[in-house]
Chains A and B, each alone.
Chain A
């Protein structure tokens, strides 16, 4: 690891200023991606600004039909939270299957969403539920937030404070994890909302995306059979040693069918 200076931010304002003043400074939350990246010498930040001591980045509550979760909330806290399990069990279930227990004890929702790994789980829930990302500067709609592989709408010095999930009628997440890494080869989040069915796919492409054909089909009939005649376009899917584009398209369909069955069941 290259040398850097570690700073434990004492206020959100201070964290924002430290990051805005120094292009090479990085925000540190759970560190479950950043620290392995530093160990592999794939990044060389000047400073790490740790925000996990800031009280305003914690807290889970339901208000006005939305579930608010603080950005520094650990995955295991989301999985275990009675508030989340009652209000949005699909999200608690998703969190309980991220990475492994040690990762869930450290990794945070804000960190995962800000990193926008194309195979991360949370982005599927954020896009599938049409959630809002609330930062120290503004609110960003999920559609505008995710901008492809590891890219987001976040500006320098902008820090995710919390995420607001509109509560759906029902929702479910199904994923096919890579057997070694645990990352999603294909993960599908389906939500039945007042505005119709939303289907968000992670792991299969360059970033999380919506599958509009499946949304239309599942709006009429919420089960795997409704998807049978559909073929997901493979142009933007990943192809690597783990699977071809066609294989991933098939995985997405199977995972969508499982999530649909869970929503209907």
Chain B
């Protein structure tokens, strides 16, 4: 067992976890932040993507103890004061989801992508989404949403 402490969505959180507990399970089972989804459990689908110290990572492929002392942001931390994050807003407006299961991971990946590159080309968007699978949309509306989110953020 390990005692861990991390900042999650701006709040300090502590936990006693087995060393083998994944960050995704710590967030979901201990902190009850169930917006982070576990889709494939084989590190491929990206539904569990969160930000650790500002970088997009698959929380099902990182131990909770590895995140000890880190700053973690999950989908629950994206909207501020009841206002959707620009990426959430764009996903809504562009109908960039159908079943919605992959959406939290998509949004976390896209938000990190736009931090690094505020005006990505179509190719850069597709390259940036390689770690996220969507089984419904065919990705076209997701790419549209990324462009729209980029435009919203550039206006701000």
Contacts and interface: CB of A to CB of B under 8 A. Distances in A.
Interface of A: 1-6, 8, 28, 31-32, 35-36, 38-40, 48, 50, 76, 99-103, 105-106, 181-182
Nearest to B46: A102
Contact of B63 (A35, A101, A105): A35
Contacts of B55: 76, 105
19 contacts: A1-B20, A6-B2, A6-B20, A6-B65, A8-B65, A31-B62, A32-B43, A32-B61, A36-B43, A39-B42, A76-B55, A101-B112, A101-B128, A102-B46, A102-B49, A102-B56, A103-B131, A105-B57, A106-B61
**B interface, by DSSP: helix, strand, loop or mixed?**
mixed
A2 B113 contact: no
Given A31-B66, A36-B43, A100 B57 contact: no
Interface of B: 2, 18-20, 22, 41-44, 46, 49, 55-58, 60-63, 65-66, 68, 109, 112-113, 128, 130-132
A48 B19 CA distance: 9
Nearest to A52: B66
A39 B62 contact: no
Contacts of B56: 101-102, 105
Nearest to B64: A6
B41 A39 contact: yes
Contacts of A103: 58, 131
A35 B43 contact: yes
A105 to B, nearest CB: 4
Contacts of B49: 102
